[in-house]
Amino acid sequence: MTKLVVGGAQMGPIQKADSRELVVARMIALLEQAAAQGVQMLVYPELALTTFFPRWYMTDQAEVDAWFEREMPNPATLPLFRRAGELGVAISFGYAELTPEGRHFNSSILTNRAGEIIGKYRKVHLPGHVEYQPTRGQQHLEKRYFEPGDLGFNVWRNEGVVMGMAICNDRRWPETYRCLGLQGVELVTIGYNTPSVNGHMKSEGREERLYHSELVMTSGAYQNATYVVGVAKAGVEDGYPLMGGSIIVDPNGFVLARAAGEGDEIILAECDFAKCAFGKTTIFNFAEHRRIEHYGRITAQTGAVVDV
């Protein structure tokens, strides 16, 4: 029987001029606050070290690369890893990764409670567009700055718990959770940056977006009998609002903890991973009930095809 106190470190806005050192100091303050409340595993947002730079259109590759990390840990982030190890808190956070081969990914890492990296994920479902789109209220240029993740959806046993990672837009896709669910996942960590307003449709505001975010994470948790922790960057960043709404969801799809504000804030819940067994052995006993002979389209076809 494994229990862990899981926390979400929601982060308030990070402005363009904020240094990595400043942000890491905030992350350490959140870590210390969480550890003091008994948190053993702490999850931070997507691209936690910088402003959400894909909102900015850039043509100079050197300017783009300045937002990326060439190694992890690096001198700016090492104090976070060290402090996490000292406090015995496993962490997961997102960052922009530039590989030695010059490839760019929207990545996240997972550590054990000694502060050692044991897993890496590269975002698969990149939203947005490649070129500047003047009709949009705000740009979302992830497709310009990152290539789709090449590592797939993996799990790691960490502190006795089967853990997997996803990033932001991944949470809207049932395929994400099911790929992890098929590996017995018990905790899915999801960092995100979701603008409060839909860039295509200004009438879709924060309330609707929060609803969709909660809908997909609670259904992903329930349908795969797993805990899900979704952690936002929130507040007005570079003049653009991010919606926040961090939550921790149990394997029955119920929200155990929810962020109240739009600043730096810890949410937490004691997670009893034995509770994953019920759904995994009954209604979502995959071996018993899945019908893969009818699921071929899921991997054979990308877009919807209407031929009736």
> Catalytic residue numbers?
46, 123, 168
Q: Residue 233, interface with ligand CDV (CB under 6 A)?
A: no
Contacts of 60 by beta carbon, 8 Å cutoff, 6+ apart: none
Amino acid at the residue 10: Q
Determine, following the binding rule CB under 6 A, whether residue 226 of this chain makes contact with ligand CDV: no
Q: Which is nearer to ligand CDV, 194 or 224 (CB)?
A: 194
CB 125 within 8 Å of CB 169: yes
Tell me 72's DSSP state: S
Q: What are phi and psi of 254, to 5 degrees?
A: -95, 145
**What are the two backbone dihedrals, phi and then psi, of residue 41, each rounded to the nearest 5 degrees?**
-145, 120
Residue range at the interface with ligand CDV (CB under 6 A); choices 29-37, 74-82, 150-158, 191-199: 191-199
CA pair distance 7, 39, nearest whole angstrom = 6
CA angle centred on 139, ends 133 and 144, rounded to 5°? 85
- Interface mask (CB under 6 A) for ligand CDV, residues 151-170, using x and -? -----------------xx-
Residue 174: name the closest of 134, 112, 216 by CA: 216
Closest contact distance (angstroms) between CB of 274 and ligand CDV is 31
String of contacts with ligand CDV for each residue 130-149, x by CB under 6 A: ----------x---------
**How big is the site for ligand CDV, counted in residues (CB under 6 A)?**
10
- Tell me which stretch binds ligand CDV (CB under 6 A): 85-93, 189-197, 226-234, 269-277: 189-197
Which position among 73, 79, 85, 127 is part of the footprint of ligand CDV (CB under 6 A)? 127
Which 42-61 residues touch ligand CDV, going by CB under 6 A? Answer: 46
- Within 13 Å and on the Cβ side, how many CA atoms surround 16? 9
Q: Inter-axis angle of helices 206-224 and 174-181, to 10 degrees?
A: 20
**Tokens representing residue 134 in the block:** 């003047």
Total count of residues recorded for the chain: 308
Longest dimension (CA), the chain: 62
Binding to ligand CDV by residue 192, rule CB under 6 A? yes
Minimum separation from the CB atom of position 72 to ligand CDV (A) = 19
Q: Which of residues 284-303 bind ligand CDV (CB under 6 A)?
A: none
Q: How far is the CB of 282 from ligand CDV (least distance, A)?
A: 31
Q: How far is the CB of 240 from ligand CDV (least distance, A)?
A: 12
Strand pairing report for 227-232 and 247-249: antiparallel
Tell me the window of 4-12, 78-86, 186-194, 296-304 that interacts with ligand CDV (CB under 6 A): 186-194
Rule CB under 6 A: is residue 228 a binding residue for ligand CDV? no
List of residues contacting ligand CDV (CB under 6 A): 46, 127-128, 140, 168-169, 172, 192-194
